[in-house]
Homo-oligomer: A and B are copies of this chain.
Amino acid sequence: MPGKLSIDSYGKSNVRVTKVIRLPDRHELVELSVNVQLWGDFSRSFTHGDNASLIATDSMKNTVYVLAKTHPMDSPESFALSLADHFVTTYPHVRRARIAADQTSWRRIDVAGRPHPTAFESAGAGIRAGWGLAARDGPRSTGASISNLLLLKTTDSAFIGFIRDRYTTLPETTDRIFATEMSVNWTYESLDIDYDAAFTRIRTALLETFARHKSDAVQQTLFDMGQAALDTEPSINQIQIDMPNKHRVPFNFKPFGLEFDNDVYITTDAPSGRISATIERE
């Protein structure tokens, strides 16, 4: 046969776990969707159907629930790292384990103006995920991400001075809507982190900069947001940001004897611009 195995990994996707932590005055609720991915010496399963070194993915799923019982699940990052540690320490032939956990965003329902101790509603506001990576005899690391966070500013966004050639029909504008669905991820430089606090600082820096920035290009706003995150958070040295440009297109009122006054826009999904960059600490 012509081929050889060059890279392989396997694992379990979308192990969904709900944990309730019953404190005296309130319940804490954590819901994660966990992904397990392992690298190691599994090649004979591929080449010979010999499964002697395979951890069944069903057993990985069981492991997530069993560890969820004893782990405080205080952050997706710490739970992910514990799981990654488990796999590399339990199985000598596992070289590397990467666990990622998407967290469902809940907030307490307000009842008569006070957060209820045991009832929750969806919080929207993008998806937080944390990940942990452990390598046998190697480094351990953690990181986090925000994805699917819709942001929109109604002013302070211009787009002028770009290339005008045969393919250009877009007019210049000094005041447009800037809407995006932000995805951001970063790696922590240390494992001695208060993950929730760091996450909140980074998220706040990103959003406040988005709100305040006088934008001359999506690119420029993205860069300033990344700089603000690095400026705020000493535990990261690098941040990767994707900010598609989800266009709001001025409606053409001319055929109706009216003028567009930066008031009524066509909301579109496709196509969208795609702007990505990694910003590093100097």
Q: Is A279 an interface residue (CB 8 A)?
A: yes
Q: When the two chains form the complex, which single residue of B3, B52, B256, B269 contacts A270, counting CB atoms closer than 8 Å?
A: B269
Q: How far, in angstroms, from A2 to B279 measured CA to CA in the complex?
A: 9
Q: Which of B35, B58, B106, B248 contacts A18 (CB 8 A)?
A: B248
Tell whether, in the assembled complex, residue B231 and residue A1 are in contact, meaning their CB atoms are under 8 Å apart. Answer: yes
Contact with B along A34-75 (1 / 0, CB 8 A): 010100001001111111111111111111011011000000
Binding site for B on A (CB under 8 A): 1-22, 27, 29, 31, 33, 35, 37, 42, 45-63, 65-66, 68-69, 91, 105-106, 109-112, 116, 118-126, 149-156, 159-163, 165-170, 177, 207-208, 210-212, 215-217, 219-220, 222-223, 226-227, 230-231, 238-240, 244-245, 248, 251, 253, 255-256, 258, 262-282
Given contacts A42-B219, A219-B8, A279-B5, contact A105 B124 (CB under 8 A): yes
Highest count of chain B CB atoms <10 Å: which of A11, A60, A63, A167: A167
Chain B residues with Cβ below 8 Å from A55 are 162-163, 167
A17, B267: Cβ atoms closer than 8 Å: yes
Determine the distance from Cα of A15 to Cα of B267 in the docked complex, in whole angstroms: 8
The reply to whether A274 and B12 contact each other, CB–CB distance below 8 Å, is yes
For the complex, give the distance between the alpha carbons of A109 and B166 in Å.
40
Q: If A3-B281, A8-B278, A18-B264 touch, does A169 touch B69 (CB 8 Å cutoff)?
A: no
State A105–B121 Cα separation when bound (angstroms). 15
Chain B: minimal CB distance from A130 (Å): 17
